[in-house]
Structure formats: C-alpha cells, structure tokens
A and B are shown apart, each in its own frame.
Chain A
C-alpha cells in the first residue's frame, strides 16, 4: 500500500531539474542486518526552501540523512548535489547530527567545537588564525552563545549544546544544511534562537533540510515536507502535502489527533 502511494505520490511530482537541486537522491536503500531501514527512497531537495523530513519513530529519518552523506553505508542508491557526485560537493554541505553521539566530558571548549567545523580550511599544521576565531565568534553570536565561548561543553545545558553544534554547522558557510532533529529536547528559548537562524539562512538563499519530530510546528517553520516510513510516502509543499491523507498513510493510523496546520 505504501509502495503504491509512493509512486502516485499524492500529487504529480514535477521531476525537478537535478542540476539545480542541492541534493537529489535516487533509490537509496539501507538495511541493518536483513531488516531494511529505508527502501528505495527518492528525494529531490528544492533549492532555497526549508524542508522537514517527518515520519514515525523508526521510519528511517536519521538514516536517510546519514546514508545520503555516506556516514552509513547504503546498500544501493545514488546521491548527486547540484548535478555532481556528493564527494565533490561536500564543501557546500553542512551537517548537524543528533546530540547523543558525543562525549560530553571531552576536553574541548565551545569555541573549539565551532572551529572543528572549519577543519578543512585550517591547513596542514592546523594553525588557527585570528580570522578563523573571528568567524567562529560570529557564528556563536548568531546562535546567542558568544558569552560561553570559553566554557567546556559539558558545562552547558542541552539547549545550549544544541546551539553550539548549530554554530559549528554555520561555520562551514555551506549552501545546504542538513539537520538531524535540531529541536529535539530543547527549551523554548533555544528553539526560538534556532528557528531564527534557519529563517535567516533561508533569507540568504540557503537550503535547509531538517529531520523534525514535532508535527505541530511543521506549518510554521517549514515550506516543504518529505514524509517517510521506510519507504517514501510523499514529498512536496506543506500546503498540498501536509494533509490528513498523507499523514495517515505515513503514520499508519497511529496519529490520535491531526496536528495543527494539517489540511484536513
């Protein structure tokens, strides 16, 4: 049933011109052992838009991002960015992972984490110049964390840590931002700060794709949605694609109430 829907897609999808798409994914399949996490997923990211990847738990949302970037090895599939293979375009792509995978006792300060985002530019000896420091500080002030530059990261609250990792992604000065659950478990202030940064990115013409868990804010924050439940369910603008029908088929009837903003 889900497969059928993927092909029909709810509404006819114009095949976006791939050479403009910051990321075009074709037939991506990932499995852990014998169980498929995502199966033959196609996705075409619209340039300059903010896209939310949504779906139930275990739908493969994080896996989709990780496999697209090569963090996880896919069984099959092809990823092109602006018409070229991913490997050549990494310089223009920034990634913000979920918070969990980090050692919080690691001896690194907030400013050092942001500088990690500039690794490529640091040269053979890894010397950090004043320009690098200035750029790092400005990324920190964009997320409101400039006062914490000297703190060891374990001393921050969850939301503050999340903002630092966003700053790290910003430091890359990329054109495409892939964020994995940027709003998960953060306080209201952090959420406001982050969405402000993302909207600012969009205003500058950057593309943002975020795995998102809170259906009630999809309409306010995002322009497009990509629904997935191991298979792609639907993809398109929020107005037309964030509907009861697509949500029910993605969540398999697990939705108790329609989230606010969904077209009933």
Chain B
C-alpha cells in the first residue's frame, strides 16, 4: 500500500496532495536555507503567526462588502498583508528601540496571533458570511486539496524557487558577512527584506497545506538537515529543497495509507525523521561519522605513542595502547617487542626527529604547518628534501 502511495497509484486526491505537498516542501526547503544561515529562523515563525489577523480581517471585510467571505484569494491577500505588517514591525522594533531581535519576534508573534484569535472569536458570533473552515488555516487541511489549490501552490512555489535561484548569491553574501556587502555598496536591507518576502510568500502559499503553525517547520527543518551534508551554500540549498520535497511526498503518501492521519503534521514528522537521519548518518558532520573519526584518530595516536615509547625504551602503561600494539603485531602477547615492531618503532622515531628539525627551520614554514603528530614526512616533502634533512640529522655522514 505504501509503495502504491509513493508511486502515485492511489487515485486523484492522493496524487494531488502528494505532488502539491512535494512542491511546497521543495520551495520551502530551499527558501528556508537563507533564513537558517542568516539566523532568522524565528522571524519566519513570527510572520506565519502574523497571518492570522489578516485572514480574520479579510473575512470580515469581504462579508461587509456583501460576499460570503470564503474567497481564497481574498483571504490569502489578507494574510499576506498582515504578515507584511508583522515583518515591518519586527524590523522597526529592532531598529528604533533597544529590543533585541528575539524579544521583538516574541512580541509581534504573540500580539498578532492573539489579535487573530480574538478576531476568530468575533467572527464566531457573526451571523453573516460563511465562516466554516477559517480555523483550518491554523493546522492546514491537506486532505481536501483541490485542483485550484494545487495550481496556486505549484505556481507560487515555482516563482519562489526561481527567485531563490536568482538571488542566491546576494542572499548568501548578506547572511555570511553583511558588513562587507554594505561596504561594497550592496543594499543589505533590501536583500534582507527580499529574503523575508520569500519566506512570507511560502507561508501564504503553504497556509492551507500545513497551516500557519507548522509552516515554519517546513522552512527550517530541511535546511538544518541539509547543512549536515555539504559545506557549499549552493549544494545546501539544493539538498534542502530535495529533503523538503521528499518530506512532502512521503508524508502525504503515508497519510494516504493509514486512516485518521492528518497530512500536515505527518509531513513535519517525516521532515524531522530526515533530520535525525542526517544528524546521525551524514559522512562529514554526522554524529556517527564524527564518532568513528574520533575513534580512528584515537587509535592512531595511541599506536604512534606506543611506537615512540618502544623506540625510546620507555615502558608502556596504557591498556589500550598495549592492546593496539599487540593487535598490530608490534608486540608479542607477553609484551615483548617483535622484530617488525622494533622496525616500525625506529621508523616512527626517525619521522618524529625529522619533523622536529623541519619545524625549527623557517624556510619550511608552509610544510611545517602540516604537522599533526601522525602524518609521516614522506607525504609532505620530496625524497630529495628528506635526504637533505637526514644529512642535517647525522652530520657525520650516513652510517
């Protein structure tokens, strides 16, 4: 069943939701990278919570003008406007007062959201208009996705993605070193506003899919997960888009197979699972990889120290060192050195001496910078240079 779901074999509704959610996830993931790298993740949370009063006001205005208040475009427009006002408030609060950014975010988030809830309660007592369904903006209602919704998401997502690609370098530069960009004549404020504008667009587009409470998850989690896989911004953006899209796709598919699973929250859970997997398994920055690297490094250090001790006739006390030396064949089970072991020890000592000489010679500064206690000198210098060092070590001639 899950395979059919993943391959879009489960009928029109499931397919529509899967593709719509995947597109949203892709656009959200890519956009979120710049929020995350620019340390503005929580601002997007403030923006999404600030959409609520706009939805309520749009409803009230549309009903006052004689409609039934349900027009999606009107509601989305209202949400965008109030989110924009919220964003400007955060920006103004940090610039004009002494408030730190997180305090400003908290203030805007709670005030706007509270005002939105009040409006919803007021609407509850309104007799005019068709208010049923307004509260779905909070957590989304993916199951009932319509063709029109999917089109809005696809178009909105595509436009946002295109803008992200176009503006990736300025946005990355501003997130990395805004002072330098300003000094080079770049308009930092405009670029930051553009970044937040894209986040706002994603929020508005995704309101009906995952709801305003969860959209921040779709913006941030794929970006954070992607960070584990690459050290290049461009790649992080692509990976985040892929992870976000995968979360949307798989989340929707899973919710289509089991009864009573709300799609929005499932998508967020899948995104989190991808994050956990990245945290643990990513080859460079992942926890597992780091642990393995550390163990390997520790073993090499112990072996090196053991060999050096052996060469200099010093006793070895550490149990781990003894075990490793025995396992490598440098020591016999009773602790006496083997032939091979003694040869290795001598080589290690020679290498150490060569390094010592190299590091005190100012001519070899660049090579000396490569010293880490383990790398053999053969990897750093040419045989001629090593021969020259050896001559300096044994000035009385080669014996």
Chain A interface residues toward B at CB < 8 A: 66, 69-71, 87, 90, 95, 97, 101-103, 106-109, 112-113, 116-117, 119-120, 122, 124-126, 144, 147, 152, 168, 172, 178, 189
Contact = CB atoms under 8 A, between A and B. Distances in A.
A97 B180 CA distance: 7
Given A109-B231, A152-B231, A71 B179 contact: yes
A71 B183 contact: yes
9 contacts: A66-B179, A66-B183, A69-B183, A70-B185, A87-B185, A95-B184, A116-B169, A119-B186, A189-B365
Interface string B211-255: 000000000000000010011110110000000000000000000
Tell me which of B235, B365, B366 has the highest count of chain A C-beta atoms within 10 A of its own C-beta.
B365
Contact of B179 (A101, A109, A172): A101
A90 B166 CA distance: 23
A107 B236 contact: yes
Nearest to B182: A71
Nearest to A174: B184
Contacts of A87: 185
Given A97-B177, A109-B232, A119 B170 contact: yes
Contacts of B232: 107-109, 112
A131 B318 CA distance: 55
Q: Which of B168, B232, B235 has the most CB of A within 10 A?
A: B232
Interface string B344-386: 0000000000000000000001100000000000000000000
Contacts of A90: 184-185
Contacts, number: 78
Contacts of B165: 125
B166 A107 contact: no
B175 interface: yes
Contacts of A97: 177, 179-180, 183
A172 B168 CA distance: 20
Contacts of B168: 126
Contact of A119 (B169, B182, B365, B366): B169
B62 interface: no
A108 B182 contact: no
Nearest to A157: B369
Given A71-B179, A112-B232, A112-B233, A106 B184 contact: no
B316 interface: no
Contacts of A168: 180
A124 B166 contact: yes
**Chain B CB within 10 Å — which of A87, A101, A122, A126 has the most?**
A126
Interface in B167-197: 168-170, 172-173, 175-186
Given A106-B175, A144-B366, A116 B233 contact: no
Indicate the member of B170, B175, B176, B232 with the most A CB atoms within 10 Å.
B176
9 interchain residue pairs of minimum CB distance: A95-B183, A90-B185, A152-B231, A126-B169, A71-B182, A69-B183, A107-B231, A106-B176, A97-B179
Contacts of A119: 169-170, 173, 181, 184, 186
Nearest to A152: B231
A107 B37 contact: yes
B177 A101 contact: yes
A128 to B, nearest CB: 9
A107 B233 contact: yes
A196 to B, nearest CB: 13
Contact of B231 (A69, A101, A108): A108
Interface in B5-34: none
B172 A108 contact: yes
Contacts of B166: 124-126
A95 B180 contact: yes
A69 B182 CA distance: 8
B227 to A, nearest CB: 6
B151 to A, nearest CB: 27
A144 B183 CA distance: 25
B183 A107 contact: no
A179 to B, nearest CB: 11
Contacts of B235: 107
Given A70-B185, A101-B179, A106-B233, 9 more contacts: A71-B183, A95-B180, A95-B184, A101-B178, A106-B175, A108-B172, A108-B176, A116-B173, A120-B184
Contacts of A69: 182-183
Contacts of B176: 102-103, 106, 108, 113, 116
Nearest to B226: A107
Contacts of A112: 232-233
Nearest to B236: A107
A109 B166 CA distance: 20
Contacts of B183: 66, 69-71, 95, 97, 178
A95, A117, A122, most chain B CB atoms within 10 A = A95
Contacts of B173: 116, 119
B242 to A, nearest CB: 16
A107 B227 contact: yes
B293 to A, nearest CB: 14
A221 B110 CA distance: 56
Residue among A70, A71, A108, A152 with max Cβ neighbours from chain B (10 Å):
A108
A116 B366 contact: no
A228 to B, nearest CB: 19
A122 B227 CA distance: 25
Contacts of B236: 107
Among A90, A106, A113, the most chain B Cβ lie within 10 Å of the Cβ of A106
A87 B187 CA distance: 12
B169 to A, nearest CB: 4
Interface centre among B178, B185, B233, B235 (most CB of A within 10 A): B185
Nearest to B173: A116
Contact of B182 (A70, A147, A172): A70
